[in-house]
Structure 1
């Protein structure tokens, strides 16, 4: 068959070389794993997702991801969790950055659930998916050390200097002593889908080794207007058994990182600026 890249994925995507190779990558996986496309293609910000049928007729999805650091160990995390509160990994082609996954219902996510119930599900997942990080997963101490250098260098009037300085101070304080938990830094409402063998299952993890408190900021910038930020953070921290001050500091750092990345005129930058403002404490 001949695959074409959805226009909505191709529009504005900077890596044109990957987009050009994407149909061939997907077609090779379809052939190698004996898959038949079983529906319309879907995508997120950096991956093509195809509903497929395996040779025996079982439904699945083929995900081909744009190669980037955050997604490098997605398959490893899924293999460690082995379907416990997460989508099940069926096969993996590291050369193509491709994963064959069990099929879930993409139309039903925690985004549509009442916020208190959704936060309870997410907090439970933080507890149940807690594992020691395996060797090779990027570590928070290295990420924090890089941010110490990058935050001031990247800031060109986008973020107040005192805010950047506070984030750098927290990186210097927390990075060297960060733990070794397998943390999903992209656990949020739209990345938890309805399943058949379990009510809710995590998809699309972005693994990092470190403190569990590092993986909370996206729970604030999503569904942003539905509850006060401090109250929402406190609910998740308490239900997941996390440290409040460590959660505040790491969430502040991640808000500053995304503020710098997106810029103040982008919706994400604006929300992260407001998150940083709420969570700022004594420098």
Structure 2
């Protein structure tokens, strides 16, 4: 009997950005990536068709299914943010989000439809891009969240709990007072934090072009909560477009107002939850031993007269 040839594992060149993102917290996942790619390409009968790509926290492998369908195999270390990604994508209206072809809930590995390599951030007109983003946000956040998703109310309660221990690390007493006011506002929001299916990270790079629809949403971090929590990423991205208008604060307010006009989100809740998003980011930065508010977020707070 002739012995079978040994299986040769795939050679995967892991992108440097992915190594930087995970080498401290997920070294075992990084080391296992070649074997994981082999496992899922065999399990789902896929053929690799190009060099690997990456998101901020995931490896993306271009593949083709046995029926000739082009797809993307997405591998990522499992965490609270991505655990229900496939569930969320299947809950929203199919016309608005990338399609899930296969998924493994145990590892959050997903086989997704292949979209065009063009993002909403590539659209030259940032006002038109914001209008498109707001229209998508309005449709996504109209959908009730599945019961098993984590809730904004719990996340907000954690922020309020963590704030007193971290805010004193801000070097500027005025910034300490501002962020404490944000924490006080968030405390008041917790009892009515909402139950809609939120994306959490809906910005211009998380919307891609497709054939079946002009623009398709990708990469959710699902959360059940108030749609007003969703506005901040649009303000925090395509920043050069805002600076290029000549009046930064007015440009921020114009973008914010456009989002409100399109979505119908109440202004008072939009302002309060935007302050909550800044609180969240500041606390994250303080955990990373920063000692001041990020300048972009400081400008957003000033333009919207938060706090």
Report if TM-score (shorter chain) is over 0.5: yes
* Cα 1:111/1:173, change in 2 over 3 Å: same
Deviation string, structure 1 residues 31-69 (Cα, Å, up to 9, x no partner): 110011111111111100011000111100000112221
Q: Tell me, what secondary structure is at the counterpart of 1:31?
A: helix
Return the alpha-carbon distance in structure 2 between the equivalents of residues 163 and 202 of structure 1. 34
* Cα 1:69/1:158, change in 2 over 3 Å: farther
RMSD: 2.1
* Cα 1:277/1:60, change in 2 over 3 Å: same
Return the alpha-carbon distance in structure 2 between the equivalents of residues 158 and 211 of structure 1. 32
Shift of 1:254: 0.5
Q: Which residue of 2 aligns with 1:277?
A: 302
Larger strand proportion, structure 1 or 2? Answer: 1
* Cα 1:12/1:102, change in 2 over 3 Å: closer
Once the two structures are superposed, the pairs formed by residues 41-60 of structure 1 within 5 Å of their partners are: 41-60=52-71
2:281 maps to 1:252: no
**TM-score of the aligned structures, taking structure 1 as reference length:** 0.93
Q: Tell me, what secondary structure is at the counterpart of 2:186?
A: helix
The answer as to whether partners of 1:256 and 1:272 remain within 8 angstroms in 2 is: no
Which shows bigger deviation, 151-160 or 39-48? 151-160
Deviation string, structure 1 residues 201-225 (Cα, Å, up to 9, x no partner): 0000111111001011111110113
2:56 maps to 1:31: no
The answer as to whether partners of 1:151 and 1:257 remain within 8 angstroms in 2 is: no
Task: Find the structure with the greater CA-based Rg.
Answer: 2
Return the alpha-carbon distance in structure 2 between the equivalents of residues 75 and 90 of structure 1. 10
2:204 maps to 1:196: no
The answer as to whether partners of 1:252 and 1:280 remain within 8 angstroms in 2 is: no
Which shows bigger deviation, 17-26 or 231-240? 17-26
Shift of 1:158: 5.5
Shift of 1:20: 1.5
2:20 maps to 1:20: no
Residue 157 of structure 1, aligned match among 149, 161, 170: 170
